[in-house]
Structure 1
Amino acid sequence: MPTAILPSKPDAPIAYELYQGDGASSLLIVCLNGLGLPQAVWKPTIELIRKSGFSPMPWILTYDRYGQGASPRDPRESWANKDPGYAHTLDDVTDDLHELIQTQCPDRSSRIVFVNNSIGAHIARRYADRYPTVVEGILFLDSNPGNTDYESIWPNPKDPSFNLEQMTPPGTSLDVYEAAYNKMTTIFAASAKNNEGFDRREIKNILPDPSKPKLKGSKCSDKGPWVTVVGHELEQFSREEWTMMKVPLGMAAMYTQPMWEKYNEGLCGLTDPERAKGPLVAPKSGHFIQKDNPSFVAEQLEDIIKKVDNSRSLP
């Protein structure tokens, strides 16, 4: 896999893949990973896009952040001002992405469409806010609700007001619920460390509102970017949670889903109403929509690309 040298970190080449488009296209599609899956998971979607007959075909960039996939550990881990286990913040990641784009795609760095999963949503929003008029479209795939956590939405079994029968799905034992509660509130807490070293502690303070700050789209318009918001299918997500985390079936429907749907509705408010699509539900998809249904992702991405290109040709 190719690697790129970022000027600020010459001793830590970052793994990336650049799929060449047509010379006439100035549009760059950038795929942003979540914490769980590396850049390779985007390949089925990209293959479908490249077989679609788009003209001009946009360029597509995937990469692994430091600490994930084929990329090395983040050199920041050795910096004196970094807490152990928290290698890079949201702004650090945004800085690295900007360097990567400027280094590998300088001729296509002023017109970007992001497609992102999970925590990648925060990177897309932060980049679009810091570099206004550059990001012309964003496809959000089951975005991580970074302004809350499970401890805030699930009832605490140690609370005196806790009522197992009223507050959990029918047939849930206290032991099963307590184990799930402890696991989810620990692993997904903003302060929890992860294998990548992504420091999430300040995300809820940087982006406390899913609909703000409003984003500015291309230089050719005073409108915001084209935005499509996609969420998981509840049944598939619930089965996924049970298989991976032993979360009782029904917990998502009772607590997680209402919060997530509200968050997704908020993401649609990042742009002008006529440029927002969704929230949609990805058929047969859990949290990793790009893995579960690449054809649906390709369909939605093609739709955004067409809107972006067509809007530039309008008077």
Structure 2
Amino acid sequence: MADLQHITLTTKPSAQIAYTFHPATSSTATTTPPPLLVFLNGLGLPQASWFATIAKLKESNTPLPALLTYDRYGQGATTDRDPADADAEDPTHGHDALTVVKDLRQLLTQIATEKLGLDSAEKLNTIPLILVGNSIGCALARLYAQTYPGTVAALLLLDSVLANSDFVSIFPDPDAPGFDASTLPEGITADALRGGREGMKRIFHPSVGSKEGLSRRNLAALLPHADSPVLVGPDDGKGPFVTVVGHDFEAFAKESARMGRGEELTLVYANPYWHLYNEGLVKIAGDEAGRGKGPVQAPGAGHFVQKDNPDFVVQEILEILGKAL
């Protein structure tokens, strides 16, 4: 495993970011321009959650591009906060996803010159980027590809955050006018729905901030649709290769139960809602045959797919690398 390193972005010189960089293996190291695979964390797990996947990738004896993991400001091994949040009224809502995307762009610009040997920042646009994200990391991957069209060759989206949802509305409102409790599926009660909605509001509603200061308040405005806009990759205007992975329904239901949410509520409402969202996500690859794959379920994995089933993630990474490079 690569040693943890630190870098200071020239755009935010008062803070450091912790990262790991793994050089390309021999057969891809001489590719011009050199490809780069970047892992994008969710809110729940830092870059260390990718280390098992990376170790298994290296054990595969398959030619690999350079690999990059990092912790955003205020997350994991990056103990420095985002300097721009210093005057924020609410530190848990100090900055949004677009700010993170701009920071990522700057990080990649510096990595490209310092680690990949490019002689100018402008050449970053020529690097075939492969973005692997989990949870809100999937939203960041989409926003990066939208903001910098033609730069992302492939995206592997592991149980994406429901970017356009308030999470509460996943469950019917038992206090809404006209609600009829007699129509509820067996095992579901009005009180259970109230509890589920309250639990979602308390933990997952976009109004809830994060320890790192990344706010989701405007995420639905930034990504209002699962299936659009269609992204533009570097291959003659075609979309990037996109693989959408969802959680295992049973595993996620058990994971939800451990967090105090009813297992039955997850099976009846959350899983179908999430699967429908994932079906939309596949379409951001465009209509070109073979560009989009999924949604596929990660066997035995809850929301944190890379933690629960790194072997499966390795399999999907190697497949999408074979398509994109």
- 3-state SS of the aligned residue for 1:15? strand
Give the 3-state SS of the residue equivalent to 1:182 in structure 2: helix
Q: Distance in 2 between matches of 1:187 and 1:51?
A: 38
* Matched residue SS, 1:116: strand
Deviations 1:276-307 (A, max 9, x none): 11110100000000000000000000001011
Paired residue secondary structure (1:105): helix
Does structure 1 residue 252 correspond to structure 2 residue 266?
yes
AA in 2 matched with 1:95: K
* Structure 2 residue 196 is the aligned partner of structure 1 residue 180: yes
Please report how far the alpha carbon of residue 201 of structure 1 lies from its aligned counterpart in structure 2 after TM superposition. 1.0
Is it true that 1:226 corresponds to 2:241 in the alignment?
yes
In 2, Cα distance between equivalents of 1:113 and 1:184: 32
1:40 and 2:43 correspond: no
Q: May I ask how many residue pairs the two structures share in their alignment?
A: 304
Paired residue secondary structure (1:62):
strand
Alignment-derived partner of residue 197 in structure 1: 213
1:18 Cα deviation from its structure 2 partner: 0.6
Q: 2:251 aligns with which of 236, 239, 244?
A: 236
Q: Give yes or no for the alignment of 1:262 onto 2:279.
A: no
* CA deviation map 1:137-166 (0-9, x unaligned): 000100011111222221234335445564
Q: Which letter does structure 2 place at the counterpart of 1:242?
A: A
Deviates more, 1:156-165 or 1:271-280: 156-165
1:92 has 2:109 as partner: no
User: Residue 296 of structure 2 aligns to which amino acid in structure 1?
Assistant: L
- 2:81 counterpart residue number: 73
Q: How does 1:260-299 map to 2 (within 5 A)?
A: 260-273=274-287, 274=289, 275-299=291-315
Quote the Cα distance in structure 2 between the aligned partners of 1:169 and 1:92: 45
> Is residue 169–residue 251 contact of structure 1 (8 Å, CA) maintained in 2?
no
Structure 1 residues 236-264: Cα deviation after superposition (integer angstroms, max 9, x where no partner): 000000102x1111112221122211111
Structure 2: distance between partners of 1:187 and 1:169: 26
CA offset digits 1:19-54 (Å, max 9, x no partner): 111321411000000110000010111111122222
**Inter-partner Cα distance in structure 1 for 2:188 and 2:204:** 25
Within a 5 Å distance, the mapping from 1:43-62 to structure 2 comes to 43-55=51-63, 57-62=64-69
Q: Secondary structure at the residue paired with 1:250?
A: helix
**What amino acid maps onto 2:319 in structure 1?**
D
- How far residue 171 of structure 1 moved from its aligned partner, in angstroms, is 6.6
Aligned to 1:312: none
Q: Secondary structure at the match of 1:12?
A: coil
The TM-score normalised by the length of structure 1 is 0.91
Change (3 A) 1:221 1:240: same
Find the aligned partners of 1:142 and 1:165 in 2 and give their Cα distance. Answer: 33
| Distance across 2 between alignment mates of 1:252 and 1:167 | 14
Which secondary structure state, in structure 1, belongs to the residue aligned with residue 38 of structure 2?
strand
What is the CA deviation profile of residues 40-92 of structure 1, one whole-angstrom value per residue up to 9, with x for unaligned ones?
Answer: 0101111111222223x200000011111011222122136x64421221110
Paired letter, 1:47: A
Query: What are the residue-to-residue correspondences of 1:210-225 with 2, within 5 Å?
Result: 210-218=226-234, 220-225=235-240
**Structure 2 length as normaliser, TM-score?**
0.88
Q: Take 1:70 and 1:88, find their aligned partners in 2: how far apart are those partners? A: 19
1:142 to 156, 159, 178: 159
1:102 has 2:112 as partner: no
Kept in 2, the 8 Å contact 1:169–1:248? The answer is no
Instruction: Give, in whole Å, the separation in 2 of the partners of 1:154 and 1:211.
Output: 22
- Does the Cα contact within 8 Å between 2:231 and 2:286 map onto a contact in 1? no
List alignment gaps of at least 5 residues for structure 1.
310-315
Is it true that 1:19 corresponds to 2:22 in the alignment?
yes
